[in-house]
Structure 1
Amino acid sequence: MTSMTLSMLSREPHVITAGTAVLGEALDQQAVARIEVDWRPPLPGTAAALARVLADPRRERANATAVGRMVSARPMLVGVRPARDVLGLEPGTFLHAGPPITWERASGPMRGALIGAMLFEGLASSPKDAEDRLAAGSGITLDSCHHHRTVGPMAGLVSPSMWMLEVTDAEHGGTAYCSLNEGLGKVLRYGAYGPEVIDRLRWMGDVLGPVLRAALDRSGPLDLRALVAQALQMGDELHNRNRAATSLMVRELAPAIVEAAPEHAAEVLRFINGNDHFFLNAGMAAAKVSADAARDVPGSSLVVAMARNGTDFGIQVSGLGDRWFTGPAGVPDGLYLGAYGPADANPDIGDSTITETTGLGGFAMAAAPAIVRFVGGDVSDAVAATTSMYEITLAEHPAYQIPGLGFRGTPVGVDVTLVARTGVLPVVNTGIAGRVAGTGQVGAGLVSPPVEAFTAALEALAKA
């Protein structure tokens, strides 16, 4: 017996446990001191691709460059303009949330939103006429919002006559767009298309858009980075809770609204006041312009877009250009409105996961304990959701900080290799759309992205 063996037997053992919890629990029952290592095996089938990507000499510097651009972006709301002007949309062209999709594969809420957009643009005389024309496809063009520097919540429908928030990056020079938020209830973004939906869209085009444009012309650009940072410290997470951010936005714009359009000021302010999510769309455009600053860095494994079209969940990666990597969109697990339940829910939909892509939303739930009343769970779940995201991200945001975590920056910059190495998937909180066209919102909750999107991106990085 060696001296080392004798030494080990003469003192208390030092035990390190990893993996299956039952092993550690057995030691706990015997009062054996141990150190637990939170280790998980890599995602199945990814070992070879992961080794190749990790060996890429460009990766570390590329990721530092990409995430540095993302967190240094300075999004500014500079204007509100019609989509036909800023995006060059022609009649019959519609942008939608998520990866590209056809009418044949579109979900119920996506079809409902397209029907509503056809009616709004005067391209159909009835829902049946709109459906027939969309199915025929003649004179109709569908494309992803992301292909046009644009994002849209839920179905994300953008048509030529809709007014867009215009956000520029004062640091890197990019521009991004998002539609105006319609409010609550039966709305186009959730696939509703009744007369009240179309009437509201027309009022937004005739009154809301022009008033906001005039107000911004008078007030000057609105610093969205500063506003988001303040809202996080007031209990928002900037995806499903925007109450503080909306209030801050109104405080900034209200004087200019009154001065620029006194005849419409009351109805505009009343409309915004009735919708705590009004800021969401501005926040999405801010996140989009920040993520776009990190695009096209060769060798980078940073995720620059996560988006869903109600059928597919897709991601884009900085070092892989505009390619989409997809898997089936999952049905969120959460709380339902009224008599609705899981059977009424459509799979996940919307571009609003651009907030999680840039360290907000589900990644910042620890800043918004009240969010659990909307998406389910309790406060400890919200904290756990945020802390788990530090395992798969490249940085902590220098401006977006969480008071409850000692003002630690939100986890930002999802790395495909870290997802593969840990098996941890991004946390997403989201609204839930009814699966039948025309239903509207049926609830809200949490959803996990499909593993396939990340493994496919990893394989592509390995080949690149």
Structure 2
Amino acid sequence: MSTIDELFNQSLHVVNIGTSKFKEDLDRQGVETIQVDWQPPAGGNLELIKALDLLQDNEKVEQANKEAIKRIKDAHPFLIDIDLAVNVIPGMHNKKILHSGPPIAWENMAGPMQGAIIGAMIFEGMAANEEEARAMIDAGEIEFGPCNEHSAVGPMAGIVSPTMPVHVIENRTHGNKAYCSVNEGLGKVLRFGAFSDEVIDRLKWLRDVFAPALKKALALTDGIDLKSITAQALHMGDECHNRNKASTSLFYREIGDYFLQTDLDTGALREVLRFIQNNEHYFLNLSMPACKSALDAGHGVPYSTVVTTMARNGVEFGIRISGLGEKEWFTAPANFIKGLFFPGYSEDDATRDLGDSAITETMGIGGFAMGGSPAIVQFVGGEVDDAIQYSEQMFDITVSENSNYSIPTLNFRGSAFGIDIRKVIETGILPVINTGMAHKVAGIGQIGAGIVHPPKECFEKALVRFHNVYGEDGENE
């Protein structure tokens, strides 16, 4: 019997690629079939495929990406000080207010961001009320800018005004600094757009009481090692974005004795220590600038396709790429978050994705490390298996893994990091972010938490731009 006859006398073993309709027909005929879900690279977009063809296995790109992620991985952030924003943030002045996400004009801002800006102006004494604040803005008296363009980051609305105290983070490997405000805690807070008297009073206390006390304590240290705290916290069930119980506790342990060595009176000492103790998200505002300082060190490597910024302003999602310009943002409409709502709220109440806190995912922690933070699913929804699957999937779109930040439940494998725009487009897999949901009306606050992904268009635009910049022959034009 010929080989061809043998083939047709055997039982069929069918692999169906693409549409499942053929598999359904074969199933009805009792033919065992394996379904393989397949789609063409880049969704069949010829312009993107052309760019991928040029950039895949490109030696200049591969070497640049190795350099970018080496810089990011080698970064060693320390908390060294706390000071007023106008004193330390580059480009800050008395009529400038920073916000989260990519650049956006006042008239296009989401409700929580506008509310937070009004609150910041009242806190600064620029305006006595909402009406005066809006009049000043309409008159063009206030300049706005993204935190990320000023070596800073901010959660949710991300507002930083001139006399707000900011943590000063130093990356001692590369010498650059990053900045972030102090986490206000839960309830009615500025980052969700609230600007009632209690919000303004808390901001003044942070500036006038808490910040000077922390400054005294930090002056006695050689800096607080945030990289070490993050690594330990990841082994204790945190992912250092939405779960910061362990990291805040570790920071409290580190800083506590230095507070005791200051000349603070007992009442002030107890008040300041109690604020950190009762605010389990305190470390988020240290985790974010720690990640920022590392990722900024990896920005500006020619030919690198590594993502160094993911940020959102409640209207648009924006990314920046190491091998492209410092102020080159690639944006698309931000998505709505899918997850668990607090009682009484629904999707109709939520604003779009908001905040700079996706800097943690850009670093490979946060949503990328959910697999090592099982309790997070009680906050964002899903099951433990989902969290592990998300962490594993992120290796498909990243350049490497970060052994500094290992995940116990993945046999201590380093977290996936170095998001590669090529791999995102080729696979169709988007970075995963776990985050809080803000009410679309300023001041109502957080209404839930869940999972969100960046819009694919951001990565498509970035890849096309990268191709245009570096040219057909791989040479910079």
For normalisation by structure 1, the TM-score amounts to 0.94
Q: Tell me which residue corresponds to 1:265.
A: 269
Alignment of 1:268-283 (within 5 A): 268-283=272-287
Tell me the CA shift for residue 53 of structure 1: 2.8
**SS of 1:77's equivalent?**
strand
Q: Tell me which residue corresponds to 2:115.
A: 112
Amino acid at match of 2:135: D
Match of 2:55 among 53, 56, 64: 53
Q: Tell me which residue corresponds to 2:207.
A: 205
Match of 1:306 among 295, 303, 310: 310
Alignment of 1:323-402 (within 5 A): 323-402=328-407
Tell me the CA shift for residue 141 of structure 1: 0.5
Q: Tell me which residue corresponds to 1:284.
A: 288
Cα 1:22/1:283, change in 2 over 3 Å:
farther
Please tell me whether residue 126 in structure 1 is matched to residue 125 in structure 2: no
Give the Cα–Cα distance (whole angstroms) in 1 for the partners of residues 271 and 183 of structure 2: 15
Cα 1:6/1:260, change in 2 over 3 Å:
farther
| TM-align CA RMSD | 2.1
Contact persistence 1:211–1:261 (CA under 8 A): no
Match of 1:409 among 398, 408, 414: 414
Cα 1:147/1:13, change in 2 over 3 Å:
same
Deviates more, 1:246-255 or 1:218-227: 218-227
Contact persistence 1:109–1:191 (CA under 8 A): yes
Cα 1:302/1:39, change in 2 over 3 Å:
farther
Please tell me whether residue 171 in structure 1 is matched to residue 179 in structure 2: no
Tell me the CA shift for residue 303 of structure 1: 0.3
Deviates more, 1:42-51 or 1:65-74: 42-51
Give the Cα–Cα distance (whole angstroms) in 1 for the partners of residues 170 and 23 of structure 2: 52
Cα 1:17/1:251, change in 2 over 3 Å:
farther
Cα 1:395/1:165, change in 2 over 3 Å:
same
Q: Tell me which residue corresponds to 2:70.
A: 68
Give the Cα–Cα distance (whole angstroms) in 1 for the partners of residues 173 and 9 of structure 2: 63
Cα 1:257/1:29, change in 2 over 3 Å:
farther
Give the Cα–Cα distance (whole angstroms) in 1 for the partners of residues 404 and 30 of structure 2: 46
Amino acid at match of 2:308: V
Q: How many residues align?
A: 461
Q: Tell me which residue corresponds to 2:433.
A: 428
**SS of 1:285's equivalent?**
helix
Give the Cα–Cα distance (whole angstroms) in 2 for the partners of residues 256 and 30 of structure 1: 73
Contact persistence 1:81–1:166 (CA under 8 A): yes
Aligned residues: percent identity?
A: 47
**SS of 1:95's equivalent?**
strand
Give the Cα–Cα distance (whole angstroms) in 2 for the partners of residues 444 and 135 of structure 1: 34
Contact persistence 2:213–2:264 (CA under 8 A): no
For normalisation by structure 2, the TM-score amounts to 0.92
Please tell me whether residue 320 in structure 1 is matched to residue 324 in structure 2: yes
**SS of 1:76's equivalent?**
strand
Tell me the CA shift for residue 368 of structure 1: 0.6
Give the Cα–Cα distance (whole angstroms) in 2 for the partners of residues 209 and 20 of structure 1: 60
Provide, for residues 16-63 of structure 1, a one-character-per-residue CA deviation record: whole Å limited to 9, x for no partner.
5554567678679958586x7675432332222222332644111111
Give the Cα–Cα distance (whole angstroms) in 2 for the partners of residues 143 and 268 of structure 1: 31
**SS of 2:396's equivalent?**
coil
Alignment of 1:109-258 (within 5 A): 109-137=112-140, 139-258=141-260
Contact persistence 2:19–2:37 (CA under 8 A): no
Give the Cα–Cα distance (whole angstroms) in 2 for the partners of residues 385 and 133 of structure 1: 45
Give the Cα–Cα distance (whole angstroms) in 1 for the partners of residues 16 and 404 of structure 2: 37
Give the Cα–Cα distance (whole angstroms) in 2 for the partners of residues 350 and 334 of structure 1: 17
Give the Cα–Cα distance (whole angstroms) in 1 for the partners of residues 33 and 349 of structure 2: 49
Deviates more, 1:45-54 or 1:379-388: 45-54
**SS of 2:41's equivalent?**
coil
Cα 1:122/1:80, change in 2 over 3 Å:
same
Cα 1:458/1:6, change in 2 over 3 Å:
same
Cα 1:19/1:388, change in 2 over 3 Å:
farther
Contact persistence 1:212–1:257 (CA under 8 A): yes
Tell me the CA shift for residue 217 of structure 1: 1.1
Q: Tell me which residue corresponds to 2:474.
A: none
Contact persistence 1:41–1:423 (CA under 8 A): no
